[in-house]
Amino acid sequence: MLTVYSYPTCGTCRKAKKWLDEHNLKYKEIHIVEAPPTKAELAEFHKKSGLPLRKFFNTSGQRYRQLGLKDKIKTANEDELLNWLASDGKLIKRPIITDNEYVTVGFNEEMFHDVWGNK
């Protein structure tokens, strides 16, 4: 079973869940703001995703802009980046989907076919 970290009003999350539903994939949904992933979970997601940690930031979010992270993340180390992400679920790009082996961040139909299409 997949775990989907999402935000109810997020259009991208709705598209991703619709895709999962259309492909009959079962998932457990976790509200990313009310129960954000921990620093350790985020580190594990980062490792399994193969993505740069900066790709985990919701760069279009208000909180990201309020904290001025655009410039700060350029020079931050991995520990600082993980601390910021773990501190506020609104800073995390969504949805994050995992089956404990693979991790995807955001929604891209081609990527979903590649990663989740054979599950």
Residues forming a β-bridge with 3 = 28, 98
Close Cβ partners of 36 (under 8 Å, ≥ 6 residues apart): 5, 86, 88, 89, 92
pLDDT in tens, 8-38: 999 999 999 999 999 999 999 999 999 999 9
pLDDT for res 119: 75
CA distance 25 to 46: 23
Exposed / middle / buried, residue 44 (Cβ in 10 Å: 0-12, 13-18, 19+): middle
User: What is the model's pTM?
Assistant: 0.94
Domain ranges across the chain: 2-116
Q: Of 20, 30, 18, 21, which Cα lies nearest the Cα of 96?
A: 30
Helix axes 109-116, 11-22, angle to 10 degrees: 40
pLDDT in tens, 37-92: 999 999 999 999 999 999 999 999 999 999 999 999 999 999 999 999 999 999 99
Close Cβ partners of 39 (under 8 Å, ≥ 6 residues apart): 82, 83, 85, 86
Query: Which CATH architecture does the domain made up of 2-116 adopt?
Result: 3-Layer(aba) Sandwich (3.40)
Query: From edge to edge, which strands make up the β-sheet containing 96-98?
Result: 27-31, 2-6, 96-98, 103-105
pLDDT for res 97: 98
pLDDT for res 118: 80
